[in-house]
Structure 1
């Protein structure tokens, strides 16, 4: 029975094993890169995200994490490119849209940032951080009333958001 299943799904072919191991290897590189990033070793983390992308170029998580590290290293333009790669692979990931918006805020490209936060919210209407950061961008554009509505919505979806943000600073 198992040999029939293997033949039917071609599980013993070298091509299948290669594709399967590439996906696993890329995921392992991402996990290790995230661990390095959490230990404040961004340059090393970047190397592992690049390895993950080299092994599996359509790994949107690797591209997104690479964007975060590049942003942390002050390389905002490269970070935006990485986020754009991740979005091209999976345009439904609200976290990637949100992170791209944060980078755009740093560059004072507020209208573009708001568009990114809107896309994050379209993909997850309860994403409190996206609502909060959209409110920040609107406030920076002197649209305080609109910004306040976003802050209220963020608080509705995550009543503890503000205390969490204070702890992060």
Structure 2
């Protein structure tokens, strides 16, 4: 009886430990691991962050987060091709990083690959659950390049509802400047 009780308690402990307490994803763990480099990006110290994430990619060659943040540095340095390479690697390791889809779309947009950029922005909007105005605005910009103006207008209005002032500015520009909104 005592052995069964101890066994039951042990199984209960393991269940709680692995399914309730320790449920961080690898991306969550990597965000903690690379907190210093992420802080550098938030402080707009992109050159230092690039050096940091170069080392991180070499040390952790299968870290989606390290590749994704190094790509952010490449984007800020206007190196879209390197950013695209890093984002492709990041998404091959973890295809649930919404920021990676957004950044990949931006890199493709900068390379004038609007149809491909739209697809990445659409994925970003989906992974952000439609609550990230930057992703919606970028999707609208790619739609404008693809001459899908009515859908772009709807995206811009949705981004404004989420508080995006850049989208409000875009709606005041042609081809939307003559449209009256209710």
Structure 1 contact 100–113 (Cα < 8 Å) conserved: yes
- Aligned ranges 1:51-130 → 2 under 5 Å: 51-126=55-130, 127-130=132-135
Find out whether 1:151 has 2:156 as its counterpart: yes
The normalised TM-score by structure 1 is: 0.72
Which string of whole-angstrom CA distances, capped at 9 and with x for unpartnered residues, describes residues 55-86 of structure 1?
22222111111001011112110100011111
2:165 aligns to what?
Answer: 162
* Number of equivalences: 143
Cα distance in 1 for partners of 2:41, 2:69 equals 9
Give the aligned CA root-mean-square deviation in angstroms. 2.7
Cα distance in 1 for partners of 2:168, 2:153 equals 17
Cα distance in 1 for partners of 2:71, 2:85 equals 8
The normalised TM-score by structure 2 is: 0.68
Secondary structure class of the residue paired with 1:85: helix
Deviates more, 1:77-86 or 1:52-61: 52-61
- The structure in which a higher percent of residues are helix is 1
Which string of whole-angstrom CA distances, capped at 9 and with x for unpartnered residues, describes residues 101-133 of structure 1?
111111111101100011112323323221111
Q: Following TM superposition, by how much is the alpha carbon of 1:24 offset from its aligned partner in structure 2, in angstroms?
A: 7.3
Cα distance in 1 for partners of 2:56, 2:127 equals 26
Q: Following TM superposition, by how much is the alpha carbon of 1:91 offset from its aligned partner in structure 2, in angstroms?
A: 0.8
Q: Which runs of 5+ in 1 are unaligned?
A: 10-22
